[in-house]
Amino acid sequence: MTWSEMQPLLEQACTETLVMVGWSTLIAVVGGLPLGILLVLTDKGGLLQNTVVNKVIGQIVNIGRSLPFIILMVALMNFTRWVTGTTIGSEAAIVPLAIGGIPFFARLVETAVREVDHGLVEAVQAMGGNTWTIVRKVLVPEALPSLIASTTTTVIALIGYSAMAGTVGGGGLGDLAVRYGYQRFETGLMWITVAVLAVAISLIQFAGDYAARALHRRGGRSGSSPRLRLLKAEEPAAADVGKVA
């Protein structure tokens, strides 16, 4: 197979993979972020401590993470057909990819949020901040570098899942490698597909690491946090008011 024959196939496969991974990552982040935060808030000693809710959510997340992706795709075929009208193609693959990515990302979010200094949470509580304020102003901003790293890890995992989806008609680079590289013995095309995936993953990892380090330097855990600076700025003001009184 010549390069002129390979090029349109690679372009279509790359576009399909980009669509699958992009949409499934967005859904995984939107669904996994609140789940991960809720796991922290409802845990023992959390702001919304509730053992029953925590155990139920934790068990659901564990079951979602324990299922191999191929089995998950098969188990969700009826649901996928109901959502997209088909079980074949890149659009259909988004459904199991997103559902598989949500519990994966939720656990990473839980780990990131647990690393936030509890002293900052207590300080905001002392100032009268409610749970929503603490989540929005402390937990998410302070954990943001780790959340960026978690998103990067999730994207890379979903790229691997999308390649597996291609083996059962999901489209994308995995489908191209199987149909042409394996079934038609086009070894050159298969190795080009492998190289494209390797380069894409390396670039995504580099971009994610760079963004996480940049956020860390701008006020993450390596320095004084924005919330702590705010509290320090308010302490002298409170003292001045006391003197005037």
Over residues 22-73, the pLDDT tens digits come to: 999 999 999 999 999 999 999 988 888 899 999 999 999 999 888 888 888 8
Query: HSE-up of 238 (CA within 13 Å, CB side)?
Result: 7
What is the rounded CA–CA span in Å between residue 230 and residue 209? 28
Residue segments in the chain with a per-residue pLDDT below the cut of 70:
219-245
Over residues 203-216, the pLDDT tens digits come to: 999 999 999 888 87
Which residue, 74, 53, 49, 104, is CA-closest to 164? 74
The DSSP result for 101-125, as a single string, is HHHHHHHHHHHHHHTS-HHHHHHHH
C-alpha torsion sign, points 38, 39, 42, 47? negative
Global pTM reads: 0.84
Q: Are 149 and 211 in contact (CB under 8 A)?
A: no
pLDDT in the model for residue 219: 59
Residue 207's φ and ψ, nearest 5 degrees, are -65, -40
pLDDT in the model for residue 22: 94
